Amino acid sequence: MTSYAAASARAEMSELRRLKTLLPPELQSWVMVEGSTEINPPLIRCEEIGRDEVEIQIDLAKWENLAIDQRNLLFWHEVGRIQNDTIPKEGWEMAALAIGLGGAVGELWVQDGLLLLLALALCGVSGYRIWQKNNGARLIEEGIEADGKAIALATRFGYTLPNAYKSLGSALKTLVEQTPNRRQRKKYEERLQALRRSAAKAKAKMQSQRESNVPI
């Protein structure tokens, strides 16, 4: 049992080191790759952990069930999110909302109209920012854009364009099949549909280029 646990730990460390090598050189000094320590965490996600540090966290128990190519493309998707600057950041919105609500209640008690308006304005701005962060359509669009970055990164690391699309499509189909949460599954389905459209455009473009290069 001890030897199995040790072997499993070595395999996990080896995978984390391998993934670190898949980071573009310009990201390697400030992007960390770690196994998640949460209970029932998402398969993979990234978050800002400091002013100049980002961490990609992976549920290694689920991760090992995916093929290597699927892992690579899902990893590059997260890297794409970092490059697009769309990762979650520790925001001021929740604190501001709490302050605004507390201030509004207080000003209702003392009946200071100007301060009440200021408190309500703070609530409105912070509430709108929270809504923006959790807007489903925006999150799906960000995911689609990060998939485009993942395809570009895959070709940068030696994948052919068709294989990059095939690997990411396979990974997304697997996530659709394995995700019980309906809302999260819909996000994967939307990304998969967008990826298929993008692949069709790329295929048509490659075909057109081949035809234009055929000697007359």
Average confidence (pLDDT) over 130-138: 55
Helix axes 182-212, 161-178, angle to 10 degrees: 160
Q: Is 168 exposed, middle or buried (0-12, 13-18, 19+ CB in 10 A)?
A: buried
Q: What is the per-residue pLDDT for 7?
A: 77
Q: What is the per-residue pLDDT for 151?
A: 97
Q: What is the per-residue pLDDT for 87?
A: 78
pTM for this predicted structure:
0.78
Q: What is the pLDDT of residues 150-163, one digit of tens each?
A: 999 999 999 999 99
**Residues forming a β-bridge with 50:** 53
Decide: helix, strand or coil at residue 128: helix
Tell me the C-alpha distance between 28 and 138, whole Å. 28
Q: Phi and psi (nearest 5°) for 33? A: -125, 120
Q: What is the DSSP annotation of 7-74?
A: HHHHHHHHHHHHHHHTS-GGGTTTEEEEE--SSS--SEEEEEEETTEEEEEE-HHHHTTS-HHHHHHH
Q: What is the pLDDT of residues 80-131, one digit of tens each?
A: 999 998 876 654 444 444 454 454 444 444 454 555 555 555 445 444 444 4
